[in-house]
Amino acid sequence: MNAVLVVDKPQGMTSHDVVNRVRRILGERSVGHLGTLDPMATGVLPLVVGKLTRLAQFYTHSEKEYEGTIRFGFATDTYDADGMPATAIYDRLPSLEQVREAAARFRGVIQQVPPPFSAKKISGVPAYKLARKQREVELQPVEVEIKEFEILGLEGECASFRARVSSGTYMRSIAHEIGKVLGCGAHLASLRRTRVAEFCVTDACTLEQLEAAKADAAEAQTKGDDIFVHLRRVLPAFPSVTANDQIAAMIRAGRAVNLPEMSRAPKVKVFYGQNQLLCIADRVAGTLFHPKVVLAG
C-alpha cells in the first residue's frame, strides 16, 4: 500500500503510538509521520505509507498552524499541563491587553530555546531522557519564525490563541517565555494542530474512523481509498505531469526522461494515471528530468 492519510491525533498518545496503531490497522509495516506532536496535543498528524514514506524528506521545513490555550499563574517543568509546577503560584493575573502586548514580542524571527523535556539531542541523547533523570539540560537556542500569533481572548487564568509558525517551533516554549515576560509564570494548557503544510484538520480522520473504513473496505472487497489523501494534492508547489507507458517504464528503471511541457520547473511530480505517483523528478537541463525519488515499482 502506497498512501498518504491525515490522522486526528488523540490526546495522551505519542506520535509513535499513532504510527504503531495505523500499522496494525492497515497491515502495513512501512508507516511514518510528517512532524511529531506532543502527547498532550491533538490534531493534524499526516502519515505516509509504503513507498511514500520517502516523501518525508520534502516536509522537514513545513509550516504549521495551531490553536490552544495558555494558563497563567505558574510555570511547569515540561512547559505544559503534563508537567509539575516549577514556580510559586501567583494570584495576580495579567489583563488581556498585557497578554497581547507580551505576545507581540514573539512575532517574527526569534531565537527560541527548546523545552528541556523535548526530543532535541544533547551529545546524541534526547533532552527529555536527561531531564527525567534530573540531570542538567542546556539546549542551544534555534532560529524560528512566528508568522502569526494572535491572542483571541482571556477567561480567568487562560488565554486562547491561534498561531502560524515555522518548522521546529515549540509552542510550549512560547507559553513559558510569555509567563516570564509577565512575571506570573505560564504554561501551555492545551494545543491542537490544525494544519501541516497542505494538510488541514478537515482532511483528518480519527483512528476509530480509519478502523471502520478499513473494515468496510475489506467487507466490500475494495481499497477504501476515500480515507486517503488524493495524491494529486500532495506537494502542491511541484507541478504535475502524467506519463505515458514509455516514459513510465523509463522512470521505473531510474532513467532520465524528456518532459517538454515542464521546461521551467525545478522539480515535478510524475503520475501514471490519475493517482499513481511514480516519482519526484529534478530538472537536469532544459526539458530533461531525472527521477530523484522513485515511488512506484
Query: Looking at the annotation, which residues are catalytic?
Result: 38
Query: Residues, the chain, total?
Result: 297
* Amino acid type, 271: F
Among 52, 56, 188, CA closest to 117 = 188
d(CA 14, CA 1): 24
42, 10 in Cβ contact below 8 A?
A: yes
What residues contact 35, with CB distance under 8 A and at least 6 apart? Answer: 45, 46, 59, 62, 64, 167, 196
Rounded to whole angstroms, how far apart are CA atoms 57 and 59?
6
What is the CA angle 265-270-274, rounded to 5? 130
Let me know: does 144 contact 171? Beta carbons within 8 Å: no
Following DSSP, what letter does each residue of 172-191 receive, concatenated? Answer: HHHHHHHHHHHTS-EEEEEE
Task: Give the 3-state secondary structure of 106-130.
Answer: CCEEEEECCCCCCCCEECCEEHHHH
- Output Rg (C-alpha) for the chain, integer angstroms: 22
Q: Which residues pair with 46 in a beta bridge?
A: 6
CA distance 6 to 44: 6
